[in-house]
Amino acid sequence: MISLNNKFEQLPEEKQSRIVNASISEFAEKDYETASMNTVVNQAGISKGSLFNYFKTKSLLYDHIYKLALGEVKSYLRKVRDETVDLPFEKRLSKIVDSGVQFIIEHPRLAKIYFRLIYSADSPNRKKIVSELQKLSNDYLGEIIQDAMDQSELDPNLNQGQAVFFLDSVLNRFLKDYHEAISQGDANQFNRDEWVKGITTLFTKGLS
């Protein structure tokens, strides 16, 4: 028997794209409970029966969209990590913070879904998803901080777990507020270069 995901993946790419884009728009604009499968099918231009043939419940559709979003984030983070691996910690961290801003600019709807996941209890399987996101962040930031400790750019005796927690918390808060400012047409509320420099300085001078 063909699984639901395989049924969806066997669709023409154009049809998959319409369903994904409609789903991202709906989950970005509305809380999970008020998000409507009817709106998704209308925006995607398909029948409701077709959508339920691929995703039997709204929860399964949301899970699929979340996994796609997580894949985008992982790919983006890997690219930044690999491109900055030979840079000193200060410049590397600056690139990472700025890339977070750039991701929000390029993927505002995915960012909105992400921040809703982190800061509300609305989403299904939230505990599991947040745990996965936290592990991703811990592994990613932990590796970068450990590299700096190994190179004596940060105190080798630094508590890595605490450093990751502090950096992750500051980044999430800054990027959330930056995203909200952009969404409200008030991007000038934050000077991108100054904030990137400020966060970088805090964690390079404050942790060294």
Same domain assignment for residues 44 and 90? no
Same domain assignment for residues 51 and 69? no
For 3, the domain range is 1-56
Same domain assignment for residues 159 and 108? yes
User: What is the pLDDT at residue 1?
Assistant: 36
Same domain assignment for residues 83 and 19? no
Q: How far apart are CA 87 and CA 180, in angstroms?
A: 31
Same domain assignment for residues 95 and 150? yes
User: What is the pLDDT at residue 3?
Assistant: 47
Same domain assignment for residues 33 and 131? no
Q: The tokens of 188 are what? A: 């000038």
Q: How far apart are CA 14 and CA 46, in angstroms?
A: 12
Q: State the DSSP code for 189.
A: G
Taking the whole predicted model, whether its pTM rises above 0.85 is answered as no
Same domain assignment for residues 115 and 163? yes
Give the CATH number of the domain where residue 26 resides. Answer: 1.10.10.60
Same domain assignment for residues 83 and 134? yes
Question: How many domains does the chain divide into?
Answer: 2
* Contact in structure between 182 and 105 (CB atoms under 8 Å): yes
Nearest to 37 by CA among 8, 46, 118, 114: 46
Q: What would the DSSP string read from start to end of 159-183?
A: -HHHHHHHHHHHHHHHHHHHHHHHH
Residue burial 184-198, b: 16+ Cβ < 10 Å; e: rest = eeeeeebeeeebbee
179: how many CB neighbours lie within 10 A of its CB? 20
User: What is the pLDDT at residue 5?
Assistant: 60
pLDDT (tens digit, 0 to 9) for every residue of the chain, 208 residues total?
A: 344 567 888 889 999 999 999 999 999 988 888 999 999 999 999 999 999 999 999 999 998 998 888 888 888 888 998 999 999 999 999 999 999 999 999 999 988 888 887 777 677 777 888 888 888 889 999 999 999 999 999 888 889 999 999 999 999 999 999 999 988 888 778 899 999 999 999 988 875 4
Same domain assignment for residues 88 and 51? no
Same domain assignment for residues 31 and 108? no
CA angle at residue 202 from 197 to 204, to 5 degrees? 90
User: What is the pLDDT at residue 4?
Assistant: 52
Same domain assignment for residues 69 and 49? no
Give the CATH number of the domain where residue 120 resides. Answer: 1.10.357.10
Same domain assignment for residues 45 and 74? no
Residue burial 132-169, b: 16+ Cβ < 10 Å; e: rest = ebeeebeebbbebbbebbeeebbeeeeeeeebbebbbe
Q: How far apart are CA 99 and CA 107, in angstroms?
A: 12
